[in-house]
Amino acid sequence: MERILIVRQQNNQLGDLLCSLPLYYALKKKFPDSYISLIAGKTNYTIPYKELCPYVDNIVQMDRETFIKNVSFIREVRSLKCNIGIIPSTMQFSRTSHVINFLSGAGVRIGVKQFDNIKNKSSWLLNTKGIFEWGKHKVHQSDRILDIAKLIGCDLTDDEKQIKVTYSNDVLLNAKEFIKTKFPAKESKIFGMHPGAGKEANRWDYNKFISLAKSLKEKYNCSFLITSGYIDKEITDKTIQGFKENNIPYVLLENAEIRLLGAILSMIDLYVSNDTGVMHLAGFSGGKVVSLFGPTNGYEWAPQQIGCTYIQSESGNINDISVEKVMDTIYNLVN
């Protein structure tokens, strides 16, 4: 049995985890009896790793302080007795990750020697490594991570890349009850909106979300679901105030548990979101998504699932995306 270690102690928020699903699936496909352990960094919210990522058998959480001060962490990693260690570096290189991977004792240590013009100064700790030109060829993050797995013969077909997160019957029943209770008019379409994002540059102006809602209400006589996370309260409050001033009915889903949120997003008609974690959650849950991109690249981060599309600001300023452009995109998806 292959015992595989994946070191993702950096860049391990919800979106990063979901974009890595093809890697975990490809490993299980080639090594179906393998035992896969994931080293994940701490997050500011709880991520149900096992439920979202059934291909991973074991989660080891850490932070830099744990690694530096606690020798027992390395003992725990070595006790896994992994013979394959993978570092899926696609944005930046972490010396800590490479040291952990080396100290794990894995005989095969896989990673990136260089991508684009960025060299990995820790690549000497790897013995299976590749050079990639992802930026030049506009490669999506999921495909970048899969490129690393290909170094040991792990790959997926295009159909297999259409991974969908599944939820337990209890979660699905709770989601259905939420929809039934909050949106009793069965014939009305439900459009979701997520006006928040961790970075200000990634936020489409909340006034544009309000204008979009007015146009959608007029065209479809639809209902609205506004989602909000722990960091989104200020923007969400302003958006809700605009909904109230324009007599637009809405339901607020705030700080929802991730599994319940994903199940609900799979049941609504369409979701408009900035570039943030719930955008990925909606896509991997089977929802229709229109995602908005300013300084970040949609070709690199937008959900790739069928029924999902993105709008990229040509200037790099997300607020250069017009309400009319979003309306046209929604019309094409809904119809």
pLDDT of residue 42: 76
Q: How far apart are CA 319 and CA 309, in angstroms?
A: 18
Question: Is the domain of 148 the same as that of 56?
Answer: yes
Match 């899969």 to its residue by tokens: 146
pLDDT of residue 137: 94
Residue finishing a domain among 107, 126, 152: 152
Residue 159 lies in a domain: no
**How would you classify the pairing of strands 108-115 and 128-132?**
parallel
Question: Is the domain of 305 the same as that of 197?
Answer: yes
**Alpha-carbon distances, residue 196 vs 71, 148, 237, 277 (angstroms):** 39, 32, 10, 10
Return the structure tokens found at 235.
């923007």
Return the structure tokens found at 111.
């990673």
In this structure, the number of other CB atoms found within 10 A of the CB of residue 267 comes to 18
Question: Is the domain of 139 the same as that of 72?
Answer: yes
In terms of phi and psi (left: phi > 0; alpha: psi -120 to 50; beta: otherwise), the region of 138 is: left
Mean pLDDT of 271-276: 96
Residue 162 lies in a domain: no
Q: How far apart are CA 28 and CA 32, in angstroms?
A: 5
Residue 157 lies in a domain: no
Residue finishing a domain among 152, 178, 213: 152
Residue finishing a domain among 117, 152, 187: 152
Question: Is the domain of 84 the same as that of 21?
Answer: yes
Of the chain, the percentage scoring pLDDT greater than 70 comes to 96
pLDDT of residue 40: 86
**Residue 258 pLDDT > 90, yes or no?**
yes
Structurally, the chain folds into a number of domains equal to: 2
**Residue 14 pLDDT > 90, yes or no?**
no
Of the chain, the percentage scoring pLDDT greater than 90 comes to 83
Between CA 317 and CA 324, with CA 319 as vertex, the angle to 5 degrees is 130
Question: Is the domain of 134 the same as that of 225?
Answer: no
For the segment 303-332, what is each residue's pLDDT rounded down to a tens digit? 999 999 999 999 999 999 999 999 999 999
Question: Is the domain of 324 the same as that of 198?
Answer: yes
pLDDT of residue 245: 96
Residue 158 lies in a domain: no
Domain ranges, residue 277: 169-334
Q: What is the CATH number of the domain that holds 283?
A: 3.40.50.2000
Question: Is the domain of 95 the same as that of 200?
Answer: no
Question: Is the domain of 110 the same as that of 224?
Answer: no
Question: Is the domain of 317 the same as that of 204?
Answer: yes
What stretches of the chain adopt beta strand conformation (E)? 3-8, 35-41, 58-62, 84-86, 108-115, 118-119, 128-132, 190-194, 223-228, 251-254, 270-274, 289-293, 308-312
Residue 163 lies in a domain: no
User: Across the strands, what pairs with 6?
Assistant: 38, 86
Question: Is the domain of 148 the same as that of 178?
Answer: no
What stretches of 183-315 adopt beta strand conformation (E)? 190-194, 223-228, 251-254, 270-274, 289-293, 308-312
Residue 198 lies in a domain: yes
pLDDT tier at 63, thresholds 50, 70, 90: low
Average pLDDT in the chain: 93
Question: Is the domain of 192 the same as that of 231?
Answer: yes
Residue 134 lies in a domain: yes
Question: Is the domain of 113 the same as that of 247?
Answer: no
Residue 327 lies in a domain: yes
CB-based burial, 193-232: b 16+ in 10 Å, e otherwise: bbbbbeeeebbbbbebbbbbbbebbeebebbbbbbbbeeb
